[in-house]
Amino acid sequence: MDYDFRSIESKWQAYWAANKTFKAETDSSKPKYYVLDMFPYPSGAGLHVGHPLGYIASDIFARYKRLKGFNVLHPMGYDAFGLPAEQYAIQTGQHPEKTTHDNVARYRSQLDRIGFSFDWDREFRTCDTDYYKWTQWAFLQMFNSWYDPEQDKARPISELIEKFKAEGKWDGLTEKEQSDLLMNYRIAYQGETSVNWCEGLGTVLANDEVKDGLSVRGGFPVEQKKMKQWQLRVSAYAGRLLDSLDSLDWTDSLKEMQRNWIGKSQGTEVEFDTVCDGRHKTVTIFTTRVDTIFGVTFMVLAPESELVDELTAESCREAVEAYRKEIKKKTERERIAQTKSVTGVFTGAYGINPLTGEQIPIWVSEYVLAGYGTGAIMAVPAHDSRDYAFARKFDLPIIPIIEGCDVSESSFDAKEGKMCNSGFLNGMDVKDAIEAAKDYVEEKGIGRRKTNYRLRDAIFSRQRYWGEPFPIYYKDGIACPVDEADLPLVLPQIDSYKPTGEAPLARAKDWTYKGYPLETSTMPGFAGSSAYYLRYMDPHNGDALVSREADEYWRAVDLYVGGTEHATGHLIYSRFWDKFLYDLGYVCEDEPFRKLVNQGMIQGRSNFVYRVVGTNTFVSLGLMGQYETTEIHVDVNIVHNDKLDMEAFRQWRPEYADAEFILENGEYVCGWAIEKMSKSMYNVVNPDLICDTFGADTLRLYEMFLGPVEQSKPWDTKGIDGVNRFLKKFWRLFYDRDQWLVEDAPATPAELKELHKLIGKEQADIENFSYNTTISAFMIAVGELSSLNCHKREILEPMVVLLSPFAPHIAEELWEKLGHAETVTYAEFPKFIPALAAEDNVTYPVQFNGKMRFTVDMPKAASPAEVEAAVRAHELTPKYVGDKSIAKVIVVPGRIINIVVK
RNA sequence: GCCCGAGUGGCGGAAUGGUAGACGCGAAGGACUCAAAAUCCUUUGUCCCUUAAAGACGUGCGGGUUCGAGCCCCGCCUCGGGCACCA
């Protein structure tokens, strides 16, 4: 019987599905392990070979953990709401519900072919009403909570009302005033801020959905607009999101990305008196360098800041307003492109330095951001490069306050040196001066220490159709929550879901609740993906997002696999969401993902043919230098090992039907390049095709064999024959044509040694995701066992178990042939390891000054001193030592011997 | 500009500070075959050499630590990723 992967794979996939082999029970008798993939967005293009990379890696781990006796939860589902699904639906002119449904079906059929051990009974889509009920529920909890900075946690809003009542701030307010007051505290709140408005998508976007001034989806320009939007008070959690990063088993680079995104900075707020047309006003600024306050020569306000209205002198008002208007006109992209240009305008107002009493001019410039700190700064041109550029442009004074620094060409930004021109700070080291100045302003009551974060609240509403409706209605302009009992609030059907600038839900018939109008924007894509890992623990629960029992058993995701592109989006929002639910006691862990592995991207490997200009003749790569040619992308699926299938090429497109070829050695060799995998490059490789040609086990092994999981690498079908050959060889340890070879004779020491080398390697590597080296070890073991002509059950049975996480179908088939009634999933890995006979000798390499010379064999139990004595007794001179003498002998037990010659 | 990574054969990539290049691909030669496919065997970092033995040189560049450095330290170069007027 030859290795017939087609029948084997379809047989076992059907068996697993019919027997629910991978169904996970909430069963506390076994230790639990939760392995999760970032669930996919079902896009219209289907899966290419890059998508399953992470799923294969996590599946191997899940199967390995099952063998080790863990109760493994390994679910899968679809992130189906959100912009991409809706954009795709609009492009194809269909309802997003339908396209989502079709795309999900396609994904599922592709996933099913690869032999994943998902518990499909737990599958859901974020657009299922049963699921988004709990997204809406979570929103209501956030609406009904506030963040208490004293306890540093979220608490029910009712407790805040009690507090206000006790302080006499509540009674006597109108209903509207009470609502407005609470909006300033709710975790989910409606507020007017400057937001990213994307005209092309007809909606606002969160910061992580914008890159370089363009929308991540679609690449449309984004502008800043002041709008009233629903927001999540993520910033309240900034400190906790930052601090608990340390406890997570994530890569340093990803943690660093989140640290940068959260952007903690510890500084000082200082109050400056200002004068304008004889009026006085106090302006608070934020700085991290309060030590440089003696070098302040002007102040700057953000153009959007309300302070500008109050501080502009009548004589300057016209110029200031013109400047603000101009800034407002610019798109985000223009602002970024012009970062280097310096603009600004004088307000006519003056500030008074609280330490020196000196009067300094107040300017307005776009380099100061309204959304950070207080939207106002003290400018120290000698020690800040942005202030320096501004001072040079507008000819403002520059006063150095660090001894000996040169500010003739640029500012001196380093926090080092001795202070000067700085009153009581003179002579101090900069680091000490920072602390001394902070103490000073606090003592004098003109300022206070303050920590700021760059992390902003998340804009949570989208003026789009395909998302969760907000469970909010408006009673006389007051936002009120829908009763929890009335959830889910189902997304209504509408005639046209295309964006028109106004929210599509405004066109829905009877979009009301208790006779009042409902909120018409919908939630963003990240809403549904923020707590899905909790729902998998208890996916059919109608009474709670997750039962206490399920949550306390499964707790958190032990291993989470996905791409780095979610570093500042999903992975921040999920952590925030989890911490919020933790604060209110709904979940028992305050971090959702203990260990995170980022799989790399699979890039495409494009192939080219070279057409001789003006002809329909194509010249092979090696000969193209002799002709003038144009490079043309050719479908990689009709190229094998860079050799073009010429017949397939003629059939590929009508214009190539009569193509002629200039060959080298009878073959047409194509050129190649590494590019992004995309349709337009004709380099997309569909996993279905690989499963048809080589089988799912080969695909799984090959994707892992390409290199480390975390690393990005090009897909190159060239090497796939190698792992396919390995599987065939493995099969031949059991079968020679129709002859079953397995025998019950006891294994020899040499055979056992091979098995144990493999076990050692697999145990050491698999937990580090070094799957490529584990597979190498398999190849070596199978090669050795073939040449030993070993067909012993004692050896082969454990080999099948060890291989099963990687190539489950072939393992399952052979396991059955070995006479086991239960699937290999239930095989207990340690039970199948036969004892290894003690080895008697160790081979030590002997080096002279680090250079390898010869080896000596010594008993394993020999002490270093005995080894040294044996080496010294060896014939050492004159060949190795020459006319020098041995200074010392270094013996590293079990490793190496080095003889130092002087 | 700032913060992370990474640089090893023709290629993908291996190497707890201890025989660099495992394993795979590709390539060359051979066996089996009428032939092909499949399979198996041998060779495959560079230089010197007819060949072999033996040797020398080799992990982006320049230094250093060490008996011994791809790995550790200092200074560069190149590539990839992230952030980017955050005061």
DSSP symbols for A580-611: HHHHTTS-S-S-SEEEEEEPPPEEEEEEEEEE
* Residue whose C-alpha is closest to residue A561's, from A602, A526, A596, A601: A596
Which amino acid, A316? C
Whether any strand B atom is under 7 angstroms from the Cβ of A468: the reply reads no
Whether the CB of A203 is less than 7 Å away from nucleic strand B comes out as no
Query: Which of residues 824 to 853 on A have a Cβ less than 7 angstroms from any strand B atom?
Result: 843, 845, 847, 849-850, 852
**Nearest CA to the C1' of B14 belongs to which residue?**
A773
Please, what is the end-to-end C-alpha distance for chain A in angstroms?
65
Q: State residue A877's pLDDT score.
A: 56
Long-range contacts of A826-832 (CB under 8 A, 24+ apart): A826/A66, A827/A67, A827/A801, A828/A67, A828/A69, A829/A67, A829/A68, A829/A69, A829/A801, A829/A802, A830/A68, A832/A797, A832/A798, A832/A801
Query: Which pair of tokens denotes residue A125?
Result: 């889509």
CB of A781 lies under 7 Å from some atom of strand B: no
A209 contact to strand B (CB, 7 A limit): no
- Using a 7 Å cut-off to protein CB atoms, list the covered nucleotides of chain B: 3-5, 11-16, 18-20, 22-27, 38-41, 67-69, 80-87
Residue A495 tokens, joined: 């005639």
Distance A488 CA to B49 C1' (A): 84
- Note the CA–C1' distance, A667 to B10, in angstroms: 19
Residues present in chain A in total: 902
Please give the nucleotide, over all strands, whose C1' is closest to the CA of residue A849: B67
A10 touches strand B (CB under 7 A): no
For residue A580, give the amino acid letter.
F
Q: State CA A634 to chain mean position distance.
A: 33
Cβ of residue A452 lies below 7 Å from strand B: yes
A892 CB closer than 7 A to any strand B atom? yes
Q: Give the nearest nucleotide to A888, CA to C1'.
A: B67
Sole residue written with tokens 């008798």: A29
Instruction: Check whether residue A331 has its CB closer than 7 Å to nucleic acid strand B.
Output: no
CA angle centred on A700, ends A696 and A703, rounded to 5°:
130
Q: What is the rounded CA–CA span in Å between residue A205 and residue A217? A: 10
How far does the CA of A857 sit from the C1' of B19, in Å?
15
Say which nucleotide is closest to residue A896, CA to C1' distance: B18
CA-atom Rg of chain A in angstroms: 34
A883/A892 Cα distance (integer angstroms) = 26
Nearest protein residue, CA measured to C1' of B5: A253
**Residue A126 backbone dihedrals phi, psi, to 5 degrees:** -65, -15
**Using the CB atom, is residue A257 less than 7 Å from strand B?**
yes
CB of A289 under 7 A from strand B?
yes
Question: Residue with CA nearest B38 C1'?
Answer: A725
For the record, the structure tokens of A467 come out as 């998302």
ipTM of the complex: 0.93
SS3 of A73-91: ECCCCECCCCHHHHHHHHH
From the Cβ of A46, is strand B under 7 Å away?
no
* CB A814 under 7 Å to nucleic chain B: no
- Smallest CA–C1' separation from A452, nucleotide: B86
**Measured in angstroms, what separates residue A599's CA from nucleotide B84's C1'?**
26
A256 strand B contact, CB < 7 Å = yes
- For strand B, is any atom closer than 7 Å to the CB of A856? no
Question: CA of A47: how far to CAs of A110, A600, A679, A732, A827, in Å?
Answer: 7, 16, 12, 33, 32
| Cα–Cα distance, A483 to A492 (Å, whole number) | 18
Residues lying close to strand B (Cβ under 7 A), chosen from 537-566 of chain A, are 564
Q: Which of residues 685-714 of A touch strand B (CB under 7 A)?
A: 705-708, 711-714
- C-alpha A704/C-alpha A708 separation (Å) is 7
A772 beta carbon to strand B: under 7 Å: yes
- Predicted pLDDT at A147: 97
Residue identified by tokens 């073939």 is A786
Strands A602-612 and A71-73: what pairing?
A: unpaired
Residue A316, token pair as written in the block: 């300057």
Q: Under a CB-based contact definition with an 8 Å cutoff, are residues A669 and A622 in contact?
A: yes
Q: CA A730 – C1' B32 distance (Å)?
A: 22
User: What is the model's pLDDT at position A137?
Assistant: 98
The pLDDT value given to residue A714? 84
Instruction: State the nearest residue by CA to the C1' of B83.
Output: A260
Query: Could you tell me the distance in Å between the CA of residue A569 and the C1' of nucleotide B21?
Result: 41
pTM: 0.92
Taking the CA of residue A325 and the C1' sugar atom of nucleotide B13, their distance in angstroms comes to 57
Q: Is the CB of A855 under 7 A from strand B?
A: yes
- Kindly tell me the burial class for residue A494, based on how many C-beta atoms sit within 10 Å of its own C-beta (0-12, 13-18, 19 or more): middle
Give pLDDT, residue A336.
Answer: 67
pLDDT at A371: 84
Residue type, A14: A
pLDDT at residue A213, as a whole number: 77
Spans of chain A, pLDDT less than 50: none
